[in-house]
Amino acid sequence: MTALLEITDLSVDYGEGAGSTHAVNHVSFTLQHGEFVGLVGESGSGKSTLGFAVTGLSKPPAHVVGGSILLDGVDIASLSSADLREQRHGGIAMVLQSGMNALNPVRSIRNHFVDIFRAHGHIDRADWNSRAEELVAKVELPSSVLDRYPGELSGGMRQRVSIALALSLEPKLMVFDEPTTALDVLVQHAVMDTIIELQKKENFTALLISHDLGIVLESAQRVLVMHEGEIVEDAPSRQILESPRDDYTKMLLSHYADPRADVVELPGFEKRVASVSSRTRQKDQKAIVVDHVSKVYPAPRRGEPQVTAVDDVSFTLEPGQSLALVGASGSGKSTLAKLITAVEKPSAGSVRFGDLDVGSLRRGQFRQLHRDVQMVFQDPYAALNPLHTVEYTLTRPVVNFTGLKGLDARRRVLELLDTVGLSPVEEFAAKLPHQLSGGQRQRVVIARALASNPQVIIADEPVSMLDVSLRAGVLALLEDLREQWGVSLLYITHDLLSARVVTDNIMVLNGGRVVERGNTAEVLRNPSDEYTIRLLDAIPNPGRRDVA
């Protein structure tokens, strides 16, 4: 049997001439019929560029500069765009990361199917409806979704619809480019299950592109590991898991661990057991007391019920303590962070920081609170003003909160950069955000939060936008700061593994209510609430396929 897809010596460049970037560098691999292959790499590794090249969707400035892509013996790179469109039927289909946003909001789901059927004419007009119903059933959706509009469906449902649309042309090869990255943890788990089931039933060849080795290992039979434009390892999943050969693969694997284990080890967090180490305390450190707080938002539309984001939550963040707030999206954990930082006001109950009643602060009084309570944002790409240098960004809180000026302020800024590990400090101070990597940006964001010498840091998913290899570094930094400065940490996340390594205590939120709380290691090892168990089960587990 010949291979379905044969890629030989493929290179893709961005731009031309001396300034071009080699995104994909002399890559060769083959896909057999009916195989499920994963393609793993961190951002910038060229995995998506490769995916687009395989499907013939490369857009300028990306262009194929060498090698061949043979699908059933036909070179895709040499096809004209008209031939390429013909080939889409029974050829290659692609599901995008933002596939759920690829639906036209003013056309019903049925119309999306009809558009494809009409364009390719491979199905009789009389069978359009039954075929569309059959397709949505394959992705485990009821046929009633056909009459809905994209805006009425959830993210997971929309991603399922785009998978069904891709299936409608009976492709031999399906390329999934980060199909679940934009989805909530629990939904992500369910959609991946559908994809795995579907591949077994329909027996198409699947190429799953992902940054998450865990997801790939639990679904794919064979894994390609990509690093800086080259495929560094190509081996069956079990072999990658048990005896990885390449150093890069080993490094990626080292960042996975089971949060339920007795001892969790990550690079930078060796031998962390469930114990509260004695930490240096700052003088006069105050606790955050959240007392029976609720937050109700008005109904999104007339006639619909109000939205209760946070429902009667009470807890105390003691000085020097680290508390994890976990839950899936919509569980109210970010709303709770907004209430604590006075961005939103509670509908009932009170939030107190020392003597300060946070809920009753007016805009002009925010400085009182923000001197001691600072925040690290989720998206380091959005949290820095793109037009200000690192120095300006850090100087402002220094000037506003410590009253230092001129050279004193500048020395403090350089100290902060050193504290977060960005050296040479002078060089980093002069940089603009777009000249920094995601991990470096997040360090700048953390440095800014430290500028006022705060007592409490609220970190809202600080590593969820970062590559796996950078996560441990940022987490280790947060942990160091806590140990050295005695800062209390409220760590908001859906990632239980990171919660396990940086926090002492944990609170699990579901639908705005606290469903479980206690010592982090104990809760994760012996979860009692069903929701906590579901969250734990949704974590990609490299060994899951073997068990199943």
Partner 1 sequence: MSTQSIPPSTRAVRAIEEASIAPAPSPLKVVLRVASTVWSNGKARIGIIILGLMILIAVFAPLLAPYGARQNGFDRSADASAAHWLGTTAAGEDVLSQLIWGAQISIFVGLVAGLLSTVIAVLVGLSWGYVRGFGADVINFIVNLFLVIPGLPLMIVIAAYLSGGGIGMIIVVVVITGWAWGARVLRSQTQSLRSRDFVTAAVFSGERPFRIVFREILPNMTSLIVGNFFGAATAAILAEAGLEYLGLGDTTVVSWGTMLFWAQNSNALLTGQWALLFAPGLCIALLATSLTLINFGVDGISNPRLREGSKR
Nearer CB in complex with partner 1: 19/300: 19
Stretch that binds partner 1, among 158-166, 395-403, 468-476, 502-510 (CB under 8 A): 395-403
Among 423, 522, 537, 546, binds partner 1 (CB under 8 A): 423
Among 26, 89, 260, 410, binds partner 1 (CB under 8 A): 410
Binding of residue 385 to partner 1 (CB under 8 A): yes
Closest CA to 137 of 202, 218, 209: 202
Binding of residue 20 to partner 1 (CB under 8 A): yes
Among 341, 488, 532, 541, binds partner 1 (CB under 8 A): 341
Nearer CB in complex with partner 1: 247/297: 297
Among 445, 499, 508, 538, binds partner 1 (CB under 8 A): 445
Cα–Cα distance, 17 to 13 (Å, whole number): 10
CB of 418: closest distance to partner 1 in angstroms? 5
CB of 422: closest distance to partner 1 in angstroms? 11
Q: CA Rg, the chain, in Å?
A: 25
Q: How many whole angstroms from its chain centre is CA 330?
A: 16
Give how many residues touch partner 1 by CB under 8 A: 59
Which residues fall within 8 angstroms of residue 73, CB to CB, at 6 or more apart? 2
Greatest CA separation found in the chain? 78
Cis peptide before 298 (omega within 30 of 0): no
Q: Which amino acid is at 492?
A: I
Binding of residue 431 to partner 1 (CB under 8 A): no
CB of 417: closest distance to partner 1 in angstroms? 8
Cα–Cα distance, 310 to 96 (Å, whole number): 33
Three-state SS sequence of 104-161: CCCCCHHHHHHHHHHHHCCCCHHHHHHHHHHHHHHCCCCHHHHHCCHHHCCHHHHHHH
Q: Give the helix ranges, DSSP H, for 209-358.
A: 213-219, 237-242, 247-254, 333-340
For the record, the structure tokens of 69 come out as 């892509």
CB of 63: closest distance to partner 1 in angstroms? 13
Q: Which of residues 491-520 bind partner 1 (CB under 8 A)?
A: none
Could you tell me the strand order of the sheet in which 322-326 lies?
373-376, 456-460, 488-493, 322-326, 505-510, 513-519
Among 32, 181, 308, 389, binds partner 1 (CB under 8 A): 389
Binding of residue 384 to partner 1 (CB under 8 A): yes
Among 176, 204, 377, 428, binds partner 1 (CB under 8 A): 377
Binding of residue 363 to partner 1 (CB under 8 A): yes
Binding of residue 414 to partner 1 (CB under 8 A): yes
**Is 333 within 8 Å of 531 (Cβ atoms)?**
no
Given the rule CB under 8 A, which residues bind partner 1?
14-15, 19-20, 61, 341, 343, 363, 366-367, 370-371, 374-375, 377-379, 382-389, 391-392, 395-397, 400-404, 407-408, 410-412, 414-415, 418-419, 423, 425-426, 430, 432, 434, 445, 448-453, 484-485
